[in-house]
Copies of this chain bind each other. A is one copy, B any other.
Amino acid sequence: MRNAEKETVRSLELFSDMSDKHFEELLVGSFLQRFPASVILFSETDLTDFLHVLIDGQVELFASTNNREGTMTLIRPVATFVLASAITDGVYQLSARTLQSSQILMIPAQNIRAAMSEDRKFAERSVRELAHCYHGVVRAYKNMKLRTAVERLANYLLVQHRRQGESHALVLPVEKRVLASMLGMTPENLSRSFVTLKPYGVKVDGSEVSITKLKDLETLAKPSALIDNK
């Protein structure tokens, strides 16, 4: 593991104010590995061996039951994932696959648990990180429960628009089938939802989307600070 990557990880809020000594101990037995796209990293029923840190690339967390599958969230670098599972010391609860070639640091879960009891700063940071993750899922859950498919898409586009600098055109960061799954609908339905949004100034060309009537789109989407803000 090179210094550049080590520093990248070190500067994550979660690790930022733990002692150097504890940080080094955390890395004992860790792997930094590059995976190609479309690789299953772990399945939701596996025991949690590692806390994962996505350094580069893109990872999808998804769940399955009874032949159905749904994207729960997308991980974008640089970020940790499955912290809660690493702490609980049970199964992952979610499956993960790479969407692109990805570089991932895998830290043994037991190192995390050890650091938790040895380093109070780390414990405090973990509390905040988990509280943050918790609210993230709550937002996703609200989004799913209180909005229709078209509204979810409209709000997704508004969020991307803002994130990508409010420029005229935004780029969908994932394939449409993954986007559909993330928004809780079928790919067919996503296509139709885009058509529905046409009168509201949404033009789609491949993975490029332009928004020409922001106000109209917002009227339809009715964005909510408690769901869409981050």
Query: What class of interface size applies to chain A in its complex with B?
Result: 35 or more
Choice from B65, B91, B130, B139 contacting A142 with Cβ under 8 Å? B65
From B91, B127, B226, contact of A226 by CB (8 A): B91
**B residues in contact with A88, CB < 8 Å:** 128, 131-132, 135
* Chain B residues, Cβ within 8 Å of A142: 63, 65, 70, 72
CB <8 Å contact, A224 and B138: no
A60-113: which have CB < 8 Å to B?
Answer: 63-66, 68-70, 72, 83-85, 87-88, 91, 93-94
- Give the oligomeric copy count: 2
A120-146 contact mask (Cβ, 8 Å, vs B): 1 or 0: 100110111011111101111110111
With the chains together, A83 CA to B147 CA distance in Å?
Answer: 26
Q: What is the distance, in angstroms, from A41's C-beta to the closest C-beta of chain B?
A: 17
Q: Which residues in A have some Cβ–Cβ distance to B below 8 Å?
A: 44-45, 63-66, 68-70, 72, 83-85, 87-88, 91, 93-94, 116-117, 120, 123-124, 126-128, 130-135, 137-142, 144-147, 184, 222, 224, 226-227
